[in-house]
Amino acid sequence: MGHEHAHSHSKKRLLFAFCITVAVFFAEVFFGFFVSKSLSLASDGIHMLSHIFVFGCVYFALGDPRAEVRATVATGVILIVMSLFILSCALYRLHEFEEVQSIWMLTVASIGLLANLAQIYILYPTDRKNISLRGFFYHILSDTGISVAVVCGGLVLYFTGWSHVDTILTFLIFPLIFWGGVSLIRNARKVAKE
């Protein structure tokens, strides 16, 4: 009974964190691609999209060890695919320069950072033995680091006008997401062998 209650409580926390993720995803992708023209902000939003896919895996995997492993692997694969997409966008930006609107970039990235911190607060007390929940939690931690970088980039752009910082940040974001995905897959394989 207590075990089922713990899973129910974890699912409620996960659902609340998911609602925040969806809101931030739409804001960062819209303002990144269409308003600020910030590729690093849009990349952060795209990374949020992977949270949305991962959420479904994690939400329905709670309490099922096999499903938890599959959800963790799915998380890793999505991160790797998204990182390669982000890399291709950054390479394209090298040849097609666009002026980045620093105010919008900084404002929306700051909101995204606050949302990530809220999700960390919401999810931290959840079941730490559940690998799919841990995967989702670390997914948000990595996105928080990315949000910090984008906020810093927005500050640099605002005070110096140096638009290339956005493309450089995007190249720096790529390996963080890629290796985060690889790490999750490795961890899932270890758990599956136990």
Q: How many domains does the chain have?
A: 1
> Among all chains, which residue has been given the structure tokens 């963080």?
176
Question: What are the respective helix, strand and coil percentages of the chain, to the nearest 5?
Answer: 90, 0, 10
Cα distances from 91 to residues 3, 72, 163, in angstroms, run 48, 29, 15
- pLDDT in 10s for each residue of the chain, 194 residues: 445 555 666 778 778 888 888 999 999 999 998 999 999 999 888 888 777 776 776 677 666 777 778 877 888 898 899 889 889 989 998 888 788 999 999 999 999 999 999 988 887 765 566 666 777 777 788 789 889 999 999 999 999 999 899 999 999 989 988 988 898 898 888 877 76
Task: Give the contacts of 193 (CB within 8 A, at least 6 positions apart).
Answer: none
> Among all chains, which residue has been given the structure tokens 């931290």?
124
> Which domain, by its residues, includes 59?
2-31+39-193
Tokens of 169: 């940040």
Tokens of 194: 């136990």
Give how far the C-alpha of residue 100 lies from the chain's centroid of Cα atoms, to the nearest Å.
22
Quote the pTM value: 0.78
CATH code, domain carrying 96: 1.20.1510
Whole-number pLDDT of residue 1: 47
43 vs 28: CA distance, rounded Å: 8
